[in-house]
Amino acid sequence: MTTAVEFTTQGIRFARAAGRVTVRGPRDRVALIAELRAEVERRMPRLAGHYLPRDRAAGYGTCETCSDPMAHYVAGMCDLCVLARGKALGGGP
């Protein structure tokens, strides 16, 4: 399992706008891209339902849906969970 924070240390960049996440990274690193897709797909079944499984006790630095570590000043869902949610609901490639 790889977190969004770990992906950023490997050259992946996430950008949020209007509730969506876009991803940029080294296209020549096929294994890294496959690992990123696998992490998004692993989260999809859990995030596909009407109600999100949220841990309201999760504060800054922890994803409220998967409990992955995030930057210490960030709260809510991690970038991977936002991607998975959008894809699970039919809003992503």
* pLDDT tens by residue, 20-41: 899 999 989 999 999 999 999 9
Residue range 57-75, pLDDT digits in tens: 888 999 999 999 999 899 9
With cut-offs at 50, 70 and 90, classify the pLDDT of residue 93: low
Q: Tell which residue, 24, 30, 8, 2, has the closest CA to residue 74.
A: 8
pLDDT, position 6? 96
pLDDT, position 61? 94
Q: How far apart are CA 10 and CA 76, in angstroms?
A: 23
